[in-house]
Structure 1
């Protein structure tokens, strides 16, 4: 969903006469930390999806490290309100995941509404919402059909909105011209 949000924000930014060159990424602190955390996400999902490892203590520990890194990045950039909004979304996802033993709850009704084929277990670190699911409403319960079909959480939406506003507002900023006296 974040790739779609990024692409959509760039399109909107250009429609609003913005430029990608105006996005000032130099003020973002510790961007390598964000990339490292998403690298850990990939390190978790690929082996689980290929059946090399099963969800358990290893994946839970990797999730803890991943989210610690994400929150470190958010803390380092706490003065940027759009990154803080992204952080709130990530926090909502973390609460849902850790409340359910390292698995993101997913609604079967949302899967069906999105038209997704296959089982949740084949996707990795997900569990179907049932009567013992904690904080199910923070899980992937919202069907989405933009560019492709998927199910998202409130946290995903909040993070995507933060990312989009960060990009669009950055693209719309005008460069300050230096004046030589």
Structure 2
């Protein structure tokens, strides 16, 4: 949910930049984004962890692998938008590293968890089977979800990778909505 705030930030930053330049958002550029279905598929591949936790917990490599494969393919296809692709790629790799090194589960900070009354390690696992509270440590713990975000209705825990990924999303959306494509780089010319 936190990543949607970065989407909103990218959109608002693009609106402000375009308003300052006296131009409209370049919504036609959306057609220049390649493989737009891939991040959607990546997000959908994560749903079993929330809605079928018992099943997803048995084959976490399958759903995690599908999700990250979709995201990485999307970034490779859109590497032309360098700032967004590099930031999002760094965030994706940080998250993937910590997840792979912890048996396909993301560690959550016990201190971050304590900031949310009523939330227990069992509740975290029941809500998302690909998370665990790192009460006894975790590999690459510093890359885990250790940063609490106290925003009503969207508050959660985020990682350094989530921040980098979010900044990449913001930069990517900003690039798409503000770039003036030359005729040789327009979607119809590709």
Normalising by structure 1, report the TM-score: 0.82
1:33 aligns with 2:38: yes
Matches within 5 A, 1:34-49: 34-48=39-53
Closer, same or farther in 2 for the Cα pair 1:176/1:40, shift >3 Å?
Answer: same
Aligned to 2:8: 7
Give ranges in structure 2 of 5+ residues lacking alignment: 184-190
Closer, same or farther in 2 for the Cα pair 1:139/1:23, shift >3 Å?
Answer: farther
Matches within 5 A, 1:134-153: 134-147=139-152, 148-153=154-159
After superposition, give the CA deviation of every residue in 1:35-94 in whole Å (9 maximum; x if it has no partner). 22211112332211xxx53623x1222211221222222222223211232121111111
Q: Which has the higher helix share?
A: 2
Aligned to 1:24, the other structure's residue is in SS state helix
1:84 aligns with 2:86: yes
For the 8 Å contact 1:116–1:149, the answer to whether it is kept is no
State the superposition RMSD in angstroms.
2.4
Aligned to 1:167, the other structure's residue is in SS state helix
Instruction: Return the alpha-carbon distance in structure 1 between the equivalents of residues 80 and 117 of structure 2.
Output: 39
Aligned to 2:178: 172
Normalising by structure 2, report the TM-score: 0.78
Count of residue correspondences: 173
